[in-house]
Amino acid sequence: MPCHRPAMRLSLSLSFLLLLPAHALAEPSIIKLYTEELPPYNTLLPDGRIGGSATQKVEAILKDAKLSHTLELTSWARAFGLARIQANSCVYSTARTPEREAQFKWIGELARIDGVLFALADRPRNSPATMEAAMGTRIGGYHSSASALYMVKKGYNVIMSANHDISLKNLLAGRLDFWLASRTTGQLLIDKQGVNGKVVPVIPVLNLELYLACNAAMEPAQIQRLQQSFAQLQADGTLAAIDRQFRE
């Protein structure tokens, strides 16, 4: 009598697979994360790793959600653009604005920032001291950032740069009247350049909330897992502990 054990094993294996839930049959594809140099939220560390408070939060969220990822630090315009067109990608730290709302699925918030205009400390006494008075002045902004685009929409003369360091140098050289940045990021860069006391915040502009923004076509199940993990880590104090670490 012929032996049919291989066929029986195949049949049993197929039957077992059919009993498994769908998520056990196919692991979610790797999520591609993109970010920019924006200390203290996302920044390149001396050892070559990408760190910062938002980076730690995002990585904790993905670990809790059991989702694999890659991470690349690049220019903001490229990071934002890739996350918009690549189905399984996300970008952080992304300001959530009405104009961007439908372009992404949102997880967060990761942080809140207050955008301000910085100026030279020894500027003339009659220099603009309000947003209205700053109309027509030369304002350095970060290319494609939400705050810079907000200022352009309002009619301000924003001179875009590839990064904040360039705008700060232009301000110090007298090629700008103001530099637009978040209060925290601006002060860190001022300290880094050794010009503390020479450049100061002078005019509040706007407040923004920063999120992990994922491509609108990402699988709903993955978005749900990320949102649930964010809620869990927020509730158990993990995210607050990361914030405390960066304030100390």
Domains of the chain: 29-112+209-247 (3.40.190.10), 113-208 (3.40.190.10)
The CA–CA distances, whole Å, from 162 to 127, 148, 169 equal 27, 12, 12
pLDDT computed for residue 170 by the predictor: 98
| Residue among 221, 246, 186, 172 nearest 67 (CA) | 221
Percent of the chain with pLDDT strictly greater than 90: 86
Label residue 197 left, alpha or beta by phi (over 0 means left) and psi (-120 to 50 means alpha): left
pLDDT tens readout for residues 114-131: 999 999 999 998 899 999
Q: Which tokens go with 9?
A: 């094993």
pTM here is 0.85
Q: Is the pLDDT of residue 11 over 70?
A: no
Name the pairing type of β-strands 31-35 and 69-73.
parallel
Name, in order, each residue with C-beta under 8 angstroms of 221's C-beta and a sequence gap of 6 or more.
Answer: 23, 28
Residue 161 bridge partners (DSSP): 142
pLDDT tens readout for residues 160-219: 999 999 999 999 999 999 999 999 999 999 999 999 999 999 999 999 999 999 999 999
Compute the distance between CA of residue 204 and CA of residue 86 in angstroms, rounded to an integer.
35
Q: Is the pLDDT of residue 156 over 80?
A: yes
pLDDT computed for residue 28 by the predictor: 61
**What's the distance, CA 10 to chain centroid?**
48
Torsion of CA 237, 34, 62, 52, to 10 degrees: -30
Buried b (16+ CB within 10 A) or exposed e, 42-63: bbeeeeeebbbbbbbbbebbbe
| Residue among 46, 49, 51, 54 nearest 182 (CA) | 54
DSSP result, 101-140:
GGGEEEEEEEEEEEEEEEEETT--TTS--STTTTTTS-EE
Q: What is the mean pLDDT of residues 28-46?
A: 94
